[in-house]
């Protein structure tokens, strides 16, 4: 390990230690997300409610389920006599409407068969609102506080003060012939309905616009904790089927990094590792040795040289020199390749060359005749060069 790499590693370790120390001494920010999940201990989770629900509903048997309402109730429906094999109350607490179409139809059908549904959320399905002949309204105010109360005289018209997480939604239109007002919310000088009971078929819907009442934040507050217990007291005795969310997301991620990213310490450790690897690759991307220059291999320029010399002789008019060179190279090739003596270009030479090369004897005789004619002849012309070149090329 060289000295430069050691410096980089030491630098990275110091940065990591510094970040860990700063993060450990930093006050963890409060997560105000409205998850309403049973495992969340943040202000607007339902961890406390999940632990205390049996005490809040001592005369009820609470059964939890995390599937959709349709998946939960459909197997419990008896198609033979169009009835359900279970009876009781459905309980839903969430920030907004999370019903799919089949589940909403199952909800309405279940209540119509003589059961109860308690929904506490800031936004209800439009189809349900139309079915129950109710409409939503929203009030905007500069005030940061809302006051809730229940209409039943048993609760002595006690007011509960809410600030964070409270909804400004209310029911601005209800079916007054059937619906019963159970609670109000007050802001500034305005008073609006936020809790109603609506009969439907043989059962009843309880609609409540303030799910924050069941959160950790308000259940741990002595001044507001009684509000949720008083609301739930309206539910009839019997079984309660509560659709819960275990995590702060409806569907758990399928990513293999899910657990690491869900834990702050592990998440930052993972980010530091990735950052360190990135820095390491950047600083080690340089070559560890000097660049080796590319050496271009030497080219075979013999042919080019020969062409150049030939063109030079041709331009100077030295045709006899070109013919002489061709004769010399031709005879040298015969001596080297075929081991034939070229001193006497007689009939014996012609026959031996014909036998070893298999070339036409008349072509060999023609070449020999031209060699004898133009050897040492200084009066040769360009036409003679072409003639002897063609004759020699036939024998190659």
Q: Cα–Cα distance between 307 and 76 in angstroms, integer?
A: 100
Q: Of 95-109, 137-151, 202-216, give the lowest mean pLDDT range.
A: 137-151
CATH architecture for residues 47-247: 3-Layer(aba) Sandwich (3.40)
Q: Cα–Cα distance between 136 and 192 in angstroms, integer?
A: 11
Q: Which of 334, 333, 303, 324 is nearest to 385 (CA)?
A: 324
Contact 112, 154 (CB under 8 A): no
Which residues have a Cβ under 8 Å from the Cβ of 9 and sit 6 or more positions away? Answer: none
Strand-strand pairing, 169-173 and 116-120: unpaired
* Distance in angstroms between the alpha carbons of the first and the last residue of the chain: 65
Q: Of 36-40, 168-172, 229-233, 257-261, give the lowest mean pLDDT range.
A: 257-261
Its pTM stands at 0.61
Mean pLDDT to the nearest integer, 246-262: 60
* Alpha carbon distances (Å) from 377 to 194, 319, 346, 372, 384: 127, 10, 20, 9, 11
Q: Where are the domains of the chain?
A: 47-247, 302-394
pLDDT of 42 higher than 50: yes
Number of residues in the chain: 396
Provide the pLDDT for residue 17: 82
Q: pLDDT digits over 198-248, tens only?
A: 999 999 999 999 999 999 999 999 888 899 999 999 999 999 999 998 654
């Amino acid at each position: 390990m060289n000295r430069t790499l050691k410096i980089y590693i030491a630098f990275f370790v110091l940065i990591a230690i510094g970040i860990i120390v700063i993060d450990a001494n930093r006050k963890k920010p409060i997560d105000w997300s409205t998850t309403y999940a049973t495992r969340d201990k943040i202000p607007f989770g339902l961890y406390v409610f999940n632990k205390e629900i049996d005490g809040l509903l001592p005369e009820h048997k609470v059964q939890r389920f995390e599937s959709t309402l349709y998946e939960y109730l459909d197997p419990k429906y008896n198609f033979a006599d169009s009835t359900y094999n279970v009876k009781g109350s459905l309980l839903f607490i969430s920030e907004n409407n999370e019903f799919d179409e089949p589940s909403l139809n199952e909800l309405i059908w279940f209540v119509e068969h003589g059961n109860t549904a308690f929904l506490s959320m800031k936004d209800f399905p439009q189809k349900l609102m139309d079915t129950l002949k109710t409409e939503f309204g929203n009030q905007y105010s500069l005030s940061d506080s809302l006051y809730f109360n229940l209409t039943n005289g048993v609760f002595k018209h006690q007011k509960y003060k809410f600030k964070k997480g409270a909804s400004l939604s209310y029911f601005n239109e209800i079916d007054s012939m059937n619906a019963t007002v159970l609670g109000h919310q007050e802001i500034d000088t305005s008073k609006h309905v936020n809790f109603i009971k609506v009969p439907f078929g043989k059962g009843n819907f309880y609609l409540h616009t303030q799910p924050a009442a069941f959160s950790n934040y308000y259940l741990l507050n002595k001044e507001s904790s009684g509000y949720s217990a008083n609301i739930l007291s309206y539910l009839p005795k019997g079984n309660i089927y509560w659709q819960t969310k275990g995590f702060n997301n409806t569907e758990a991620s399928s990513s293999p990094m899910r657990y690491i990213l869900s834990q702050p310490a592990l998440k930052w450790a993972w980010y530091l590792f990735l950052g360190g690897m990135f820095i390491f690759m950047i600083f080690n991307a340089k070559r560890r040795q000097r660049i080796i220059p590319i050496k271009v291999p030497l080219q075979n320029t013999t042919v080019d040289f020969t062409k150049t010399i030939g063109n030079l002789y041709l331009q100077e008019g030295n045709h006899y020199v070109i013919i002489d060179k061709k004769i010399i190279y031709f005879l040298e090739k015969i001596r080297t390749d075929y081991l034939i003596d070229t001193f006497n270009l007689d009939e014996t030479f012609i026959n031996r060359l014909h036998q070893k090369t298999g070339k036409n004897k008349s072509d060999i005789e023609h070449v020999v005749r031209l060699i004898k004619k133009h050897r040492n002849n200084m009066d040769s012309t360009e036409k003679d060069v072409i003639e002897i070149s063609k004759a020699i090329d036939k024998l190659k």
